[in-house]
Chain A
Amino acid sequence: MKILVPVKRVIDYNVKVRVKPDNSGVDLANVKMALNPFCEIAVEEAVRLKEAGVATEVVVVTIGNKAAQEQLRTALALGADRALQLETELNLDSLQVAKLLAKVVAEEQPQLVIMGKQAIDSDNNQTAQMLAALTGMGQGTFASKVVVADGKVQVTREIDGGLQTVALTLPAVVSTDLRLNEPRYASLPNIMKAKKKPLDVKAADSLGVALESKVNTLKVTTPPSRQAGVKVESVAELVAKLKDEAKVI
């Protein structure tokens, strides 16, 4: 069974995000970039399925400029077998990404697509669902457990109020939540080996997908900051303030 893992290069989650002074977006110049944490979990899950003998090949794909090859190498160091970059300088929306991935799915014919539930930059949480829709596949989103057996994948999903388990016929799309697994660290020998693994590059605009978006970002601003209030000395003072001043109890 082949598993396809789409991944994204994003700002490192430890970096403090700064909005550009002209409000055109977030300043990405000279900031540390990394593999999106949810994507890392997706790579780990795919690699574990391969190690368990369920999968035979793990293919990672990303859409982005040349710098994104760094994240493909990271995924290869974590255990993916080969990588594909759809090269573009454009910052694509989820729908365009899903359409490009649908083309990759048609070409690669994976039995399972595992991807992060959202990227921590745009926070859209859409691409897996859109890819599933475009390919007619079932979707197991926000997965905290994935079991492949008898031509199906059983996915336990984190939903409001608890957990839901669904069974999907293969091929299917799974999107990962935080608790699915704890990704390994790439060892130095594996990082060296990753440099020799195959990495193909195709132009994103060569796949016959219209890449322009109908959604235009007008401005990006810093959220209003909350002012620190007062320190109270005692529980009695706190309760009095909540009753008389804030009037919330």
Chain B
Amino acid sequence: MSILVIAEHNNSALKADTFKTVQAASQLGGEIHVLVAGQACQAAAAEAASIAGVSKVLLADAAPYAHQLAENVAALVAELGAVYSHILAAATTGGKNMLPRVAALLDVAQISDIIAIESADTFVRPIYAGNAIATVQSADAIKVLTVRSAAFAAAATGNNAPIEAVSVVKDLGVSSFVAEELTKSERPELTAARVIISGGRGMQNGENFALLNGIADKLNAAIGASRAAVDAGFVPNDMQVGQTGKIVAPDLYIAVGISGAIQHLAGMKDSKVIVAINKDPEAPIFQVADYGLVGDLFTVLPELEAAL
């Protein structure tokens, strides 16, 4: 058995999700190789080589992989991947975009969004927005899996695996990169943060989200939002925590003015400790919160910031 993990990176650094995907791969048993496909992505490859449990890093450094367009990277992975027993990528928008393409090219199924590994061919995954949990067994020769990062710890570092250049260059010529607009933030990313503070419809408008800033600064927290707050236009979509947004599992999740719709709970209920601040004592969020504080967020938030 040997496992190929597709690294998620921005050419200069790996995403935290890759460390978690390697951790998942290590539960399968077998040699782990990590593919870093990009352009001028040597630094990301070096970082991959430092992950514990990785025995080799494959570095595909070529212009068609610069923006990791799914068409080109999937063709590369399908060619390299045929000799592996498992191919894994994080269930991020990057992995979700590219890996099903690989599975189809290899004529095997993909098992999406796994949250646990029972054996080398049996995996656990949420269905129906997390309202049911399926255990599935694959008889395919190659198991193609996307891994939900929130369900796995990050693999340790301190390794020095060899980096091997891959000369395969695939350019399907059907897609090209036009532009990217990334939200700039000094704060940790939602999916990597140890602490998250999220606002909901109760925040009333976008300006009021500033009330979360001071607390987030003190706790080094990421700031999230419920779908209601995003749909109301308070904050951009990439801040959304929930079934259709980011799935997170931080050590501490503070839900402020969030009622606790099923779709939001699906995105954060695996957090270690949940705090709910809401003026409605009947809000469903209190049913999943370890600590609930019934109160007006406009008085509670300044108090909380001062108390930290």
Structural contact, B110 and A19, CB atoms closer than 8 A: no
| Nearest CB of A to B33, in Å | 22
In the docked arrangement, what's the CA distance between A141 and B286, Å? 36
A213-236 CB contact bits vs B (8 Å, 1 = yes)? 111111111110010111110111
List the one stretch of A50-58, A70-78, A238-246 in contact with chain B.
A238-246
Cβ of B244 < 8 Å from any Cβ of A? yes
Contacts A95-B109, A239-B308 known; A122 to B178 CB distance under 8 Å? Answer: no
Interface centre among A19, A178, A215, A222 (most CB of B within 10 A): A215
Within 8 A of A (CB), among B232-285: 237-238, 244, 246, 251-252, 269, 272-275, 281
Cβ of A190 < 8 Å from any Cβ of B? no
Cβ of A11 < 8 Å from any Cβ of B? yes
| Nearest CB of A to B256, in Å | 12
Structural contact, A129 and B176, CB atoms closer than 8 A: no
Name the one of B99, B101, B122 contacting A139, with C-beta atoms under 8 angstroms.
B101
Contacts A138-B71, A223-B132 known; A228 to B104 CB distance under 8 Å? Answer: no
Question: How many residues does chain A have at the interface if contact means C-beta atoms less than 8 Å apart?
Answer: 74
**What bracket does the count of chain B residues touching chain A fall in?**
35 or more
A196-213 CB contact bits vs B (8 Å, 1 = yes)? 000000000000000001
In the docked arrangement, what's the CA distance between A220 and B68, Å? 35
Name the one of A126, A142, A221, A234 contacting B133, with C-beta atoms under 8 angstroms.
A221
Contacts A160-B92, A248-B251 known; A214 to B126 CB distance under 8 Å? Answer: no
Which residues on A sit within 8 Å (CB–CB) of B92? 160
Name the one of B178, B246, B290 contacting A229, with C-beta atoms under 8 angstroms.
B290
Structural contact, A94 and B100, CB atoms closer than 8 A: yes
Name the one of B110, B174, B237 contacting A136, with C-beta atoms under 8 angstroms.
B174
Structural contact, B175 and A168, CB atoms closer than 8 A: yes
Structural contact, A120 and B128, CB atoms closer than 8 A: yes
Structural contact, B303 and A235, CB atoms closer than 8 A: yes
In the docked arrangement, what's the CA distance between A87 and B181, Å? 43
Structural contact, B179 and A164, CB atoms closer than 8 A: yes
Name the one of A120, A160, A167, A248 contacting B178, with C-beta atoms under 8 angstroms.
A167
Within 8 A of B (CB), among A15-72: 16-17, 19, 26
Which residues on B sit within 8 Å (CB–CB) of A137? 174
Cβ of B204 < 8 Å from any Cβ of A? no
Cβ of B210 < 8 Å from any Cβ of A? no
Task: For B227, give the chain A residue with the smallest CB separation.
Answer: A178
Which residues on B sit within 8 Å (CB–CB) of A26? 127-128, 132
> Could you list some 24 contacts between A and B, CB below 8 A?
A121-B127, A123-B128, A125-B112, A129-B96, A129-B101, A132-B71, A133-B74, A141-B70, A157-B97, A160-B93, A163-B181, A214-B108, A214-B109, A214-B140, A215-B109, A216-B138, A217-B135, A222-B132, A229-B290, A239-B307, A239-B308, A241-B291, A242-B273, A246-B291
**Residue ranges of B at the interface with A (Cβ–Cβ < 8 Å):** 67, 69-71, 74, 92-94, 96-105, 107-113, 122, 126-140, 172-183, 189, 191, 195, 219, 237-238, 244, 246, 251-252, 269, 272-275, 281, 286-294, 300, 303-304, 307-308
